[in-house]
């Protein structure tokens, strides 16, 4: 469901870009980017039991 939520955030981001509201769009962009990276971190370190 997290992946679905991120895709929906991306759709929201596209709408906000269309009606550019700088603060909203920048916030949404970085929320999406950080969410993707956190989800990546979860999936990348989950199986390998990596200690960094």
* Binding region for other proteins (CB under 8 A): 1-4, 6-8, 10-11, 13-15, 17-18, 20, 25, 29, 32-33, 36-37, 39-40, 42-44, 46-47
- Is-contact 23 31, C-beta < 8 A? no
> Toward other proteins, which CB reaches closer, 23 or 47?
47
CB of 49 to other proteins, least distance (A): 13
What six digits make up the tokens of 9? 């955030």
Count of C-beta atoms within a 10 Å radius of residue 3: 10
Smallest separation (angstroms) from other proteins to the CB of 27? 13
Q: From CA 46, how far away is CA 48, in angstroms rounded? A: 6
């Amino acid at each position: 469901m997290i992946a679905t939520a991120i895709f929906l955030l991306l759709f929201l981001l596209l709408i906000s870009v269309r009606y550019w509201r700088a603060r909203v769009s920048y916030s949404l962009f970085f929320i999406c980017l950080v969410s993707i990276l956190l989800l990546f971190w979860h999936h990348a370190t989950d199986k390998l039991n990596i200690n960094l």
